[in-house]
């Protein structure tokens, strides 16, 4: 059974159809890249998978391990292993990052019927992961993403991904705003999470990220549909020739 099956998905936002019948299948262990011009609907797809309110699904299905994802609330999806690293992570003043991480991790574990982490175990885990991502401890004492630079916010998303150990990771423009060193560190963090049980969907505009996180499949999205899929060489082709050739296909 596929891990994620998006079938003929049609989505509207404020009376306007954004996704016009999108189909995508992701298996365990795979890394898929989605590329496509601005406004083609990449973030919309990721939001609908995560369960963000404000989107109306007017057709099609999303199955996660064969279960209807659209029937589940966002927190249930997270507990089942769906994780979206946001293109624009929000700032939450007054909620300390550490408190947030522990509350979220334990809420997920509780929903799965697992025991909650003890404080020392949790702290040890956070310390390990944040060290490998080059996130200083005092950053974790601040409010969630408050006063973080763009790159720090992205690293904080990868930190959460490493901590929650989801089975489907959707990374929406993880590379935007990262300098070259930060990109390599974040990509190493993502690569460390690659495993036969875990799948990743990497949304990006740039071939460079795919040099670090090498995809099994590359999709081209245009105007709310997947218009072409191929191997990693498709990304190179796009880099050379741009999206114009796909405009008509959509």
Ligand X SMILES: Nc1ncnc2c1ncn2[C@@H]1O[C@H](COP(=O)(O)OP(=O)(O)OP(=O)(O)O)[C@@H](O)[C@H]1O
Interface contacts to other proteins, rule CB under 8 A? 50-53, 73-75, 77-79, 84, 86, 89-90, 92-95, 99-100, 103-105, 107-108, 111, 143, 160, 164
| Nearer to other proteins (CB atom), residue 94 or residue 113 | 94
Closest approach of other proteins to the CB of residue 78, in Å: 4
Q: Given the structure tokens 């989605």, which residue do they identify?
A: 34
Query: Which of the choices ligand X, other proteins, Mg ion, none does residue 52 contact, using the CB cut-off of 5 to 8 A by kind?
Result: other proteins
Does the CA dihedral 129-173-102-198 come out positive or negative?
Answer: negative
Least distance to ligand X, CB of residue 172, Å: 7
Specify whether the CB–CB gap between 33 and 231 falls below 8 A: no
Return the structure tokens found at 239: 């880099």
Contact 10, 59 (CB under 8 A): yes
**How near is the Cβ of 89 to Mg ion at its closest, in Å?**
13
Would you give the end-to-end CA distance of the chain in angstroms? 29
Cα gap 101→162, rounded to integer Å: 11
CA distance 206 to 213: 12
Helices (H), 133-179: 150-164
Which residues in the 14-73 window bind ligand X by CB under 6 A?
A: 14, 18, 36, 38-44, 54
Binding to ligand X in span 70-89, by CB under 6 A? 87
Determine what percent of the chain falls in helix, strand and coil, rounding each to the nearest 5. 40, 30, 30
C-alpha–C-alpha distance, residues 134 and 98, integer Å: 16
Residue 93 touches which of Mg ion, ligand X, other proteins, none (Cβ within 5-8 Å per kind) = other proteins
Residue 203 Cβ vs Mg ion, minimum distance, rounded to whole Å: 7
| Torsion on CA atoms 161, 164, 76, 139, rounded to nearest 10 | -70
Counting every residue written for the chain, the total comes to 250
Q: Out of Mg ion, ligand X, other proteins, none, which partner does residue 13 contact, by CB within 5 to 8 A per kind?
A: ligand X
Instruction: Number of residues interacting with ligand X: please give it, by CB under 6 A.
Output: 13
**Residue 107 interacts with, from Mg ion, other proteins, ligand X, none (CB under 5-8 Å by kind):** other proteins
Pick from 43, 97, 145, 222 the residue near Mg ion by CB under 5 A. Answer: 43
105 binds, among ligand X, other proteins, Mg ion, none (CB under 5 to 8 A by kind): other proteins
Whichever of 200 and 227 has its CB closer to other proteins, that residue is 200
For ligand X, the binding residues (CB under 6 A) are: 13-14, 18, 36, 38-44, 54, 87
């Amino acid at each position: 059974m596929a891990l994620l099956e998006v079938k003929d998905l049609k989505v509207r936002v404020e009376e306007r159809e954004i996704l016009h019948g999108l189909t995508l299948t992701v298996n365990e262990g795979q890394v898929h890249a989605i590329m496509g011009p601005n406004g083609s609907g990449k973030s919309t797809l990721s939001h609908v998978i995560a369960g963000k309110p404000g989107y109306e699904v007017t057709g099609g299905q999303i199955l996660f391990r064969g279960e209807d994802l659209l029937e589940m609330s966002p927190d249930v999806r997270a507990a089942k292993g769906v994780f979206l690293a946001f293109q624009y992570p929000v700032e939450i003043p007054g909620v300390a990052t550490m408190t947030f991480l522990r509350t979220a991790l334990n809420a997920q574990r509780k929903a799965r019927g697992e025991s909650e982490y003890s404080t020392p175990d949790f702290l040890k885990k956070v310390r390990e992961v944040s060290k490998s991502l080059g996130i200083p401890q005092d950053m974790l004492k601040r409010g969630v993403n408050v006063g973080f630079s763009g790159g720090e916010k992205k690293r904080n998303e990868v930190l959460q991904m490493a901590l929650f150990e989801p089975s489907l990771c959707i990374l929406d423009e993880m590379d935007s705003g990262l300098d070259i060193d930060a990109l390599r560190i974040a990509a190493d963090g993502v690569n460390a999470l690659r495993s036969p049980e875990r799948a990743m969907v990497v949304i990006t505009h740039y071939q460079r990220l795919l040099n670090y996180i090498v995809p099994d499949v590359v999709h081209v999205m245009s105007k709310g549909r997947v218009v072409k899929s191929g191997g990693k060489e498709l990304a190179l082709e796009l880099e050379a020739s741009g999206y114009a050739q796909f405009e008509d296909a959509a």
